[in-house]
Amino acid sequence: MAIPRQLPNAITIGRILCAPVFLWMLLADHGADGGLRWGAAALFVVAIATDGIDGYLARKYEIVTNLGKLLDPIADKALTGCAFVGLSILGELPWAFTIIVLVREIGITVHRLVVASDHVVAAAWMGKLKTVAQAVALSLALLPLWTLVGEWIHVVNTITMTIAVVLTVASGVDYVIAEVRGARASRGDAATGKRR
Protein backbone atom coordinates (compact mmCIF):
# COMPACT_ATOMS: atom_id res chain seq x y z
CA MET A 1 0.00 0.00 0.00
CA ALA A 2 1.40 3.37 -1.03
CA ILE A 3 1.46 6.19 1.47
CA PRO A 4 1.76 9.93 0.78
CA ARG A 5 5.43 10.80 0.31
CA GLN A 6 5.27 13.66 2.81
CA LEU A 7 3.47 11.70 5.57
CA PRO A 8 6.62 11.06 7.68
CA ASN A 9 7.56 14.75 7.50
CA ALA A 10 3.98 15.74 8.35
CA ILE A 11 4.14 13.56 11.47
CA THR A 12 7.45 15.18 12.41
CA ILE A 13 6.00 18.68 11.97
CA GLY A 14 2.99 17.63 14.04
CA ARG A 15 5.41 16.70 16.84
CA ILE A 16 6.93 20.18 16.68
CA LEU A 17 3.48 21.79 16.87
CA CYS A 18 2.59 19.65 19.91
CA ALA A 19 5.47 21.11 21.93
CA PRO A 20 3.93 24.53 22.84
CA VAL A 21 0.51 22.97 23.46
CA PHE A 22 2.08 20.43 25.80
CA LEU A 23 4.01 23.15 27.66
CA TRP A 24 0.87 25.23 28.14
CA MET A 25 -1.02 22.23 29.51
CA LEU A 26 1.84 21.40 31.89
CA LEU A 27 2.04 24.92 33.31
CA ALA A 28 -1.62 25.91 33.16
CA ASP A 29 -2.57 24.51 36.57
CA HIS A 30 0.69 25.61 38.24
CA GLY A 31 1.90 22.14 39.15
CA ALA A 32 -1.33 20.64 40.40
CA ASP A 33 -1.64 16.91 39.78
CA GLY A 34 -5.04 17.13 38.13
CA GLY A 35 -6.45 16.53 34.69
CA LEU A 36 -4.26 19.03 32.86
CA ARG A 37 -1.09 17.42 34.26
CA TRP A 38 -2.23 13.96 33.19
CA GLY A 39 -3.26 15.36 29.80
CA ALA A 40 0.09 17.07 29.31
CA ALA A 41 1.93 13.87 30.19
CA ALA A 42 -0.27 11.82 27.83
CA LEU A 43 0.29 14.30 24.99
CA PHE A 44 4.05 14.15 25.58
CA VAL A 45 4.08 10.34 25.54
CA VAL A 46 2.01 10.16 22.35
CA ALA A 47 4.02 12.89 20.60
CA ILE A 48 7.43 11.46 21.51
CA ALA A 49 6.25 8.00 20.40
CA THR A 50 5.67 9.34 16.89
CA ASP A 51 9.44 9.72 16.61
CA GLY A 52 9.66 6.00 15.91
CA ILE A 53 6.65 6.02 13.59
CA ASP A 54 7.83 8.68 11.15
CA GLY A 55 11.29 7.13 10.91
CA TYR A 56 9.84 3.65 10.42
CA LEU A 57 7.52 4.83 7.62
CA ALA A 58 10.29 6.74 5.87
CA ARG A 59 12.63 3.73 5.90
CA LYS A 60 9.98 1.11 5.09
CA TYR A 61 8.66 2.95 2.05
CA GLU A 62 12.07 4.35 1.06
CA ILE A 63 10.99 7.97 1.30
CA VAL A 64 13.78 9.22 3.55
CA THR A 65 14.45 12.89 2.75
CA ASN A 66 17.10 15.40 3.80
CA LEU A 67 14.30 17.57 5.17
CA GLY A 68 13.14 14.68 7.33
CA LYS A 69 16.68 14.03 8.57
CA LEU A 70 16.93 17.70 9.53
CA LEU A 71 13.47 18.12 11.07
CA ASP A 72 13.37 14.87 13.07
CA PRO A 73 16.01 15.78 15.68
CA ILE A 74 14.65 19.34 15.84
CA ALA A 75 11.19 17.98 16.65
CA ASP A 76 12.63 15.78 19.39
CA LYS A 77 14.56 18.69 20.89
CA ALA A 78 11.55 21.03 20.77
CA LEU A 79 9.38 18.55 22.65
CA THR A 80 11.95 17.38 25.20
CA GLY A 81 13.25 20.93 25.64
CA CYS A 82 9.76 22.15 26.56
CA ALA A 83 9.47 19.27 29.03
CA PHE A 84 12.79 20.06 30.72
CA VAL A 85 11.97 23.77 30.96
CA GLY A 86 8.43 23.12 32.20
CA LEU A 87 9.59 20.75 34.94
CA SER A 88 12.22 23.26 36.06
CA ILE A 89 9.68 26.10 36.13
CA LEU A 90 7.50 23.91 38.35
CA GLY A 91 10.48 23.29 40.64
CA GLU A 92 10.48 19.55 39.96
CA LEU A 93 13.81 19.42 38.14
CA PRO A 94 17.03 21.30 38.96
CA TRP A 95 17.72 24.11 36.52
CA ALA A 96 21.31 22.84 36.26
CA PHE A 97 20.05 19.68 34.53
CA THR A 98 17.88 21.69 32.17
CA ILE A 99 20.63 24.18 31.30
CA ILE A 100 23.13 21.39 30.57
CA VAL A 101 20.63 19.69 28.28
CA LEU A 102 19.57 22.90 26.51
CA VAL A 103 23.15 24.03 25.86
CA ARG A 104 23.91 20.67 24.26
CA GLU A 105 20.67 20.48 22.28
CA ILE A 106 20.61 24.08 21.05
CA GLY A 107 24.31 24.04 20.20
CA ILE A 108 24.04 20.92 18.07
CA THR A 109 20.78 22.05 16.45
CA VAL A 110 22.39 25.37 15.42
CA HIS A 111 25.37 23.46 14.03
CA ARG A 112 23.08 21.16 12.04
CA LEU A 113 21.36 24.20 10.51
CA VAL A 114 24.67 25.93 9.72
CA VAL A 115 26.09 22.92 7.87
CA ALA A 116 22.76 21.90 6.27
CA SER A 117 23.69 23.46 2.93
CA ASP A 118 26.91 21.43 2.90
CA HIS A 119 25.67 18.15 4.36
CA VAL A 120 22.83 16.86 6.52
CA VAL A 121 23.91 15.33 9.81
CA ALA A 122 21.64 12.40 10.65
CA ALA A 123 21.22 11.28 14.24
CA ALA A 124 23.91 8.84 15.37
CA TRP A 125 23.23 5.75 17.50
CA MET A 126 24.26 7.49 20.71
CA GLY A 127 22.00 10.42 19.91
CA LYS A 128 19.10 8.03 19.39
CA LEU A 129 19.89 6.29 22.69
CA LYS A 130 19.95 9.69 24.38
CA THR A 131 16.53 10.52 22.93
CA VAL A 132 15.07 7.25 24.23
CA ALA A 133 16.58 7.86 27.69
CA GLN A 134 15.18 11.40 27.75
CA ALA A 135 11.76 10.17 26.61
CA VAL A 136 11.60 7.57 29.39
CA ALA A 137 12.92 9.90 32.10
CA LEU A 138 10.64 12.78 31.10
CA SER A 139 7.58 10.56 30.77
CA LEU A 140 8.13 9.23 34.31
CA ALA A 141 8.73 12.75 35.63
CA LEU A 142 5.67 14.20 33.90
CA LEU A 143 3.21 11.51 34.93
CA PRO A 144 2.13 12.22 38.53
CA LEU A 145 2.61 8.58 39.46
CA TRP A 146 3.36 9.53 43.07
CA THR A 147 -0.36 10.07 43.51
CA LEU A 148 -0.89 6.39 42.67
CA VAL A 149 2.17 4.49 43.93
CA GLY A 150 3.68 6.77 46.54
CA GLU A 151 6.72 8.99 46.98
CA TRP A 152 9.28 6.23 46.27
CA ILE A 153 8.77 6.83 42.56
CA HIS A 154 10.82 10.03 42.97
CA VAL A 155 13.92 7.86 43.49
CA VAL A 156 13.25 6.12 40.18
CA ASN A 157 12.70 9.49 38.51
CA THR A 158 16.02 10.81 39.85
CA ILE A 159 17.92 7.77 38.58
CA THR A 160 16.37 7.80 35.10
CA MET A 161 16.82 11.57 34.77
CA THR A 162 20.48 11.36 35.78
CA ILE A 163 21.07 8.63 33.18
CA ALA A 164 19.34 10.79 30.54
CA VAL A 165 21.47 13.85 31.35
CA VAL A 166 24.71 11.83 31.33
CA LEU A 167 23.80 10.34 27.94
CA THR A 168 22.92 13.81 26.67
CA VAL A 169 26.41 15.07 27.51
CA ALA A 170 28.10 11.91 26.20
CA SER A 171 26.21 12.00 22.90
CA GLY A 172 27.10 15.69 22.52
CA VAL A 173 30.80 14.88 22.92
CA ASP A 174 30.39 11.99 20.45
CA TYR A 175 28.74 14.34 17.94
CA VAL A 176 31.56 16.88 18.19
CA ILE A 177 34.25 14.20 17.79
CA ALA A 178 32.47 12.73 14.75
CA GLU A 179 32.16 16.15 13.11
CA VAL A 180 35.83 17.01 13.76
CA ARG A 181 36.93 13.69 12.26
CA GLY A 182 34.63 14.23 9.28
CA ALA A 183 36.02 17.72 8.69
CA ARG A 184 39.60 16.43 8.86
CA ALA A 185 38.78 13.63 6.41
CA SER A 186 37.18 16.13 4.00
CA ARG A 187 40.22 18.39 4.14
CA GLY A 188 42.46 15.38 3.54
CA ASP A 189 40.41 14.32 0.51
CA ALA A 190 40.48 17.86 -0.85
CA ALA A 191 44.26 18.08 -0.43
CA THR A 192 44.72 14.71 -2.14
CA GLY A 193 42.53 15.81 -5.00
CA LYS A 194 44.54 18.97 -5.51
CA ARG A 195 47.79 17.05 -5.70
CA ARG A 196 46.38 14.90 -8.43
Residue 114 inside a domain? The answer is yes
pTM of the model: 0.84
Task: Note the maximum CA span of the chain.
Answer: 70
Residue 2 inside a domain? The answer is no
Q: Tell me how many domains the chain contains.
A: 1
Report the CATH number at residue 46.
1.20.120
> Which residue pairs, CB below 8 angstroms and at least 24 apart, start in 36-43?
37/142, 37/144, 38/143, 38/144, 40/86, 40/142, 41/139, 41/142, 41/143, 41/144, 43/18
What integer pLDDT is reported at residue 195 of this predicted model?
A: 46
Residue 147 inside a domain? The answer is yes
Residue 1 inside a domain? The answer is no
What integer pLDDT is reported at residue 133 of this predicted model?
A: 95
Q: Is 167 exposed, middle or buried (0-12, 13-18, 19+ CB in 10 A)?
A: buried
Range of the domain at 45: 7-195
Residue 60 inside a domain? The answer is yes
How confident is the model over 156-172, as pLDDT tens digits? 999 999 999 999 999 99
Residue 132 inside a domain? The answer is yes
Q: Distance from CA of residue 172 to its chain's centroid? A: 12
- With a cut of 50, which residues of the chain have pLDDT below it? 195-196
φ, ψ for residue 94, nearest 5 deg = -60, 140
Alpha-carbon distance of 168 to 175, in angstroms, equals 11
